[in-house]
Amino acid sequence: MTKIKIALIQLNTGENVEKNLEDFRHFSYEASRRDVDLIVTPEVVNCITSDHKQRIKSSSTEQVERFLSVAKKISRESQTYFLIGSLARREINSEKCENRSYLINRIGNIVAHYDKIHMFDVKLSESERYKESDFYRPGGEKKMYPCDFGKLGMTICYDLRFPKLFSDLALSGAEIITVPSAFTQNTGTRHWEVLLRARAIETGAFIVAPAQTGEHGSTGRKSYGHSMIVSPDGEILLQLKQLTGVGVTEIDLKECGEARRNIPNLINQIHYK
């Protein structure tokens, strides 16, 4: 089994958890009807807010489990893998959350999770600043899981700017690397496509990047959209532009081996001082 079908879901998550859950359910079921092997969603599908009290409320165990229950049910019914790009989730009595990606197998079990390592602490302009470390705890471990179709490496959004994480995943055998994101309109316009294509070419892996899109309620934040799947040779196989929805494409994992044999940069690396 080298050819698999992947469904990208592009969402516009906001502050209303009930609406977010309904959109998540609607598009996930739509994806499951497309006879795919893997469904992937963007980052923080349960809530995007500038109010940390709202984030704390929406990231409770009970709220997180509602999204997980939908994904598990869909995986069982359609016998597909399901990657929830991430959920903001919180331990009881903690003042900070984890930005956690979940991988669910074909029978509805969580088989891997990954906590976002790199926090988006940036000043893009005088009026646009972000400091994720104020309300998220960073992870500290790379994650890869051997699915029945191939090895899948997990990253989240800002991780995209740190190529060593991607090369480490590729050196561990990852053939697909997921990059669920909520890339800002500002940075997305300039950097999203070129970074995704660069990581694909550098690693000889398929880059699967579902994204948030549009304005997120009253937060003042706007995401770039343009969810993509990129081949190991840097070709854009699927792109969703700026509307919410589902896109499906088939990939052939044999291309990973071919790309790495043709340009063996991963094994040609020289470690220098």
Catalytic machinery residues: 43, 116, 157
Element (DSSP H or E) covering residue 24: helix 17-32
Query: How many CA atoms lie within 13 Å of 272's alpha carbon, on the beta-carbon side?
Result: 3
Which residues are 123's β-sheet partners?
Answer: 129
Virtual torsion, Cα 113, 115, 21, 129, nearest 10 deg: -160
Which residues are 122's β-sheet partners?
Answer: 130
Nearest to 160 by CA among 220, 205, 207: 207
Pairing between strand 3-10 and 176-178? unpaired
52 phi and psi angles, rounded to 5 deg: -65, -30
CA-based end-to-end distance of the chain: 42
Q: How many CB atoms lie within 10 A of CB 34?
A: 15
CA distance 52 to 48: 10
CA distance 11 to 105: 22
Place of tokens 């220098």: 272
- The vertex-109 CA angle with 22 and 213, nearest 5°, equals 35
CA distance 8 to 183: 16
